[in-house]
Amino acid sequence: MGILIALVALLLVLLGAVTIFVRADPAKMADGMKTLGPILLALAGAAIFAVGRSGLGGIMLVGAAAWYGTMRMNRPAQQPPRKRSTVRTAALEMELDHKTGGLEGLVLAGRHEGKMLGAMNLAELQHLYRELSGDPESRQLLETYLDGRFPVWRKNAEPDSGEGLGVAPGAGAMTKEEAYKILGLEAGAAAADVRKAHRRLMQRLHPDIGGTSFLAARINEAKDVLLSNHN
């Protein structure tokens, strides 16, 4: 009688699993089976163990535990989200990847509005540079990008295109929101986190180690804005 009850219970479990399999989305089911498989094996082992077949049932339970353990070990570790800094001017929005140091930007105004800098060739970027002659802050940000992607671009620049070089950041006061974005921090970050982010970015972008004075100045300004309330 006990064997019959165990077999009926096992049959019901298998029937339920088949029903779920038929109704479920194949992609989700394939992922779910990684967890469901060991569970079904454990249930079957427990049922067989309960009817007196302790040897076979025990082997199945141990196998289910080993299967589940192996599955967890092979599961790829979840990668933490990458930290990014965002610098925005009137004509450009630039993102810096803290891990790789890579820059990518979006044109916010002008003939190339809506284009990603990474999708533009050197000729288009040089045209954009000339177009920004009246916006020294955006020009300096573009210089930073060009220096990283086309190190020799200045040699091919037009003689009169240097008017935007070396200009200090604009006089507009930086907001806290901008400062948090530049340092890649969430609003309300602690003073220790501000200092840590500032130190990490300056180690990568300081002019003495190949960075740019423009971004370094913005990073320093962001730190000062956020720490002003902690003093």
pLDDT, tens digit (0-9, with 9 covering 90-100), for 135-170: 999 999 999 899 889 988 888 665 544 444 333 444
Whether residues 121 and 177 share a domain: the answer is yes
* Cα-Cα-Cα-Cα dihedral sign, residues 102, 113, 220, 174: negative
Question: CA–CA separation, 143 vs 125, rounded Å?
Answer: 10
In a domain, residue 69? The reply is yes
- pLDDT, tens digit, 9 for 90 and up, residues 119-140: 999 999 999 999 998 899 999 9
CA dist 142 and 184 (Å) reads 20
Q: Is residue 79 part of a domain?
A: no
Buried b (16+ CB within 10 A) or exposed e, 167-202: eebeeeebeeebbbbbbbbeeebeeeebeebbeebb
Question: Are 213 and 134 members of one domain?
Answer: yes
For the full predicted model, state whether its pTM sits above 0.75. Answer: no
Q: Looking at residue 94, which CATH number applies to its domain?
A: 1.10.287.110
Residue 21: inside a domain, yes or no? yes
Answer whether residue 43 is part of any domain. Answer: yes
Boundary residue ending a domain (21, 50, 74): 74
Number of domains in the chain: 2
- Calculate the alpha carbon distances from 195 to 81, 205, 230 in Å: 20, 15, 12
Answer yes or no: do 140 and 47 share one domain: no
Shared domain check, 176 and 104? yes
Domain that residue 56 falls in: 2-74
Same domain, 142 and 211: yes
